[in-house]
A and B are shown apart, each in its own frame.
Chain A
């Protein structure tokens, strides 16, 4: 089986100082003090691909990302975890907040190096959180897509996807090829490689491909405004808490 996993390296937005969100300027420059991490949503997707490979030896996994970031430390980690091939597509222009163009580069790579049985994506990634790239890439590749997948299972050459929505829990037996978009995966984290695996992977490098993205009609960003949820925020002492809770709970 051949699997292509699309992933992204992003800023750790959990470590942004609260006041840095309180402005209508484009936040991209104000948050560049934060560390970079593997997108949360993509960790589980990479792990899902590795779990399939665990159950079906000989599975070929390629992880691809569109970024102008060198990302060497992340790529070594992917090799160490068991990803066979890592590809970095370096765009000639800035594709931040341009999901259609990003999807086009991924689809182009998949079409050139395929066919793949499965193309896996996480549901969304900051800063845009557009939720567009997987669907757009699937359409460009003319592949059926199944989203909100929490788990992928394989046995005897069959692939099963467990899909969960607000209103249902479904299981599908898939006919490859298909695009899979995972959300809230059962196995949320990418496995931690051993020191031996890290050392073995230290000499490997990601394949670098430089590309120019096609001009596609992405939405134009006119500006940003803070999304704050604020309440009165009255601080009380632990000693005051019992009386407060008693008053509140007796009204229920």
Chain B
């Protein structure tokens, strides 16, 4: 079984994390029946030369039989046609069964376009990849994240992008430990990470040996000029778009790092109410987020959205005010240690996803937070 792992990022800062995720995905595949070991090769596209700590451990380097590098001009978006040409060329030379894309925000685009180009089959945001005879199965979200679809890919090459946080999903937490002592309430989600892939990732990252120079770690993967793709490919620097502004965001936002988060749902009513919640949160050194409808209605910017289309947060305490609890929203708060929900409707779905629920007006709770507790 041959697996081709593709990472495309403008800078090298995130690439080692992507490489870990890819190697653990390959590790968790299992072996085809009667098949030999899986060979995984890595191709990295970046605007910068390989960094010295690109694959900092021997285990990470050994996870990939071949390590290739191709320099791109500008962002991955600008260089996408060139990237697709190089990937297609390399894949045709080696007949890979599975092509994995991960991490970068362009993984879905690259996976699907590669599948069409090579007459393979595609799957985006996949979790729990497994070999099933001569097929590949994976799960992914469907019905607005209310269901998981179990999918089987048949036509090779299988072109799959891995869900970025698939290795970070919190596993099911027991309510008592093995001595029978009660532990803090946690989620009992059916949406659990594959713990073998998580363990493999941790093992790969933690092994500590001598680091060879990055310059001899990667072979160049330029497109040969005498191939059809080489003649037709967009030359470095040419693009369908010119980037006129690029503001990078490094590190996490205050919302993602806060220990206490107050979240306003559509039921709070408007921008003024949000202002009151912000004041209460500030008093307690907390942060404020919103459900998506609040941002869509213009009460605040999308940078404050918590949920599948916004941020995933991990506070110690998350207080949800007047949000009904749709699945896309719950995906953003599922990693909170403790969730307290307030909603006037005692049947609101949010209560089933909370540790404590209060069937009341959200203002009653904010009033409590405004006092000296």
Question: Using a CB-CB cutoff of 8 Å, which residues 166-198 of chain A contact chain B?
Answer: 166-175, 178, 183-184, 188-189
| Pair A129/B141 contact, Cβ less than 8 Å | yes
Majority secondary structure, B binding face: mixed
Residues of A within 8 A of B115 (CB): 136, 217
Q: Which of B186, B317, B326 contacts A249 (CB 8 A)?
A: B317
Q: Which residues of B approach A to under 8 Å, CB–CB? A: 14, 75, 77-78, 80-81, 84, 105-106, 108-109, 112-113, 115-117, 119-125, 137, 141-155, 175, 185-191, 239-250, 259-260, 284, 295-297, 302, 305, 309, 316-317, 324, 326-327, 330-331, 334, 338-340, 346, 349, 351-360, 364-365, 368-369, 371, 373
In the complex, A246→B371 CA distance in Å? 10
Complexed CA–CA distance, A235 and B247 (Å) = 44
Q: Does A150 contact B (CB under 8 A)?
A: yes
A224→B148 contact, CB < 8 A:
yes
Are B244 and A172 closer than 8 Å at their CB atoms?
A: yes
Q: When the two chains form their complex, are residues A168 and B113 in contact, meaning their CB atoms are under 8 A apart? A: no
Say yes or no: A13-B143 contact (C-beta < 8 A), given A148-B105, A227-B327: yes
Q: Are A168 and B249 neighbours in the complex by a CB distance under 8 Å?
A: yes
> For residue B295, which residues in chain A have a CB less than 8 angstroms away from its CB?
184
- Asked if residues A13 and B150 are in contact (CB atoms below 8 Å), the reply is no
Across the interface, do A245 and B373 meet the contact criterion of CB distance under 8 Å? Answer: yes
Q: Give A208-245 as 1s and 0s: 1 = Cβ < 8 Å from B's Cβ atoms.
A: 00000000011111111111111111111110011011
A132: chain B residues at CB < 8 Å are 108, 112, 122, 124
Q: Contacts A13-B144, A174-B240: A220 and B368 contacting too (C-beta < 8 A)?
A: no
CB-nearest residue of chain A to B143: A127
- Closest chain B CB from A11 CB (angstroms): 9
Taking CB atoms, residues of chain B closer than 8 Å to A166 are 105, 249
Give A contacts to B, CB under 8 Å. Answer: 13-14, 16, 18, 21, 27, 31, 97, 100, 126-132, 135-136, 138-140, 144-148, 150, 160-161, 163-175, 178, 183-184, 188-189, 217-238, 241-242, 244-246, 248-252
Contacts of A219 in B (CB 8 A): 121-123, 151-154
**Chain B residues near A233 (CB, 8 Å)?**
351-355, 357
Tell whether, in the assembled complex, residue A167 and residue B249 are in contact, meaning their CB atoms are under 8 Å apart: yes
Q: Which of A140, A221, A224 has the most CB of B within 10 A?
A: A224
Query: Closest Cβ of chain B: how far from A120's Cβ, in Å?
Result: 15
Q: Which of A165, A218, A223 contacts B105 (CB 8 A)?
A: A165
What are 21 inter-chain pairs, A to B, with CB distance below 8 A?
A: A97-B142, A126-B143, A126-B144, A132-B124, A136-B115, A144-B80, A145-B113, A178-B240, A184-B309, A189-B296, A220-B152, A224-B142, A228-B190, A229-B331, A231-B186, A233-B351, A234-B355, A238-B358, A241-B360, A245-B373, A251-B316
Q: Which residues from B are CB-within-8-Å of A235? A: 346, 351, 356-359
Q: Please tell me if the beta carbons of A217 and B119 are within 8 angstroms of each other in the complex.
A: yes
Q: How far is the CB of B12 from chain A (nearest CB, A)?
A: 13
By beta carbon, the residue of chain B nearest A161 is B241
- Which residues on the A side are within 8 Å of B368 (C-beta)? 241-242, 245
Contact of A170 among B148, B150, B245, B259 (CB under 8 A): B245
Q: How far is the CA of A116 from the CA of B119 in the complex (A)?
A: 25
Residues on A with beta carbons closer than 8 Å to the beta carbon of B349? 18
Tell me whether B137 and A252 are in contact (CB under 8 A). no
B365 near A241: Cβ-Cβ < 8 Å = yes
Q: Are A220 and B151 neighbours in the complex by a CB distance under 8 Å?
A: yes
9 A-B pairs with the lowest CB-CB distances in the bound complex, closest first: A217-B155, A135-B112, A171-B245, A144-B240, A188-B296, A172-B241, A139-B116, A219-B151, A165-B105
Q: How far is the CA of A235 from the CA of B152 in the complex (A)?
A: 41
Which residues of B lie under 8 Å from residue A244 when comparing CB positions? Answer: 340, 356
B101 to chain A, nearest CB (A): 12
Cβ of A250: which chain B residues have Cβ within 8 Å of it? 373
With beta carbons under 8 angstroms apart, the residue of A18, A131, A231 that contacts B108 is: A131
Asked whether, in the complex, the Cβ of A160 is within 8 Å of the Cβ of B244, the reply is yes
| Bound CA–CA A172/B245 (angstroms) | 7
Given the complex, which residues of B lie within 8 Å of A163, measured CB to CB?
77
Closest to A178 in B: B240
Nearest CB of B to A86, in Å: 24
**Known contacts A217-B154, A234-B357, A235-B358; is A135 also within 8 Å of B108 by CB?**
yes
Say which residue of B239, B259, B354 sits within 8 Å of A231 (CB atoms).
B354
Inside 8 A of A16's CB, which chain B residues have their CB? 146
Cβ of B148: which chain A residues have Cβ within 8 Å of it? 224-227
- With a cutoff of 8 Å between Cβ atoms, the chain B residues found around residue A21 in the complex are 143, 146-147
For the complex, what is the distance from the CA of A128 to the CA of B275, rounded to whole Å? 37
CA distance A136 to B305 in the complex (A): 29
CA–CA, A127 and B147, complex, Å? 9
Residue of B nearest to A235 (CB): B357
Write out the residue numbers on chain A whose beta carbons fall within 8 Å of the beta carbon of B330: 229
A245 surroundings in chain B (CB, below 8 A) = 340, 365, 368-369, 373
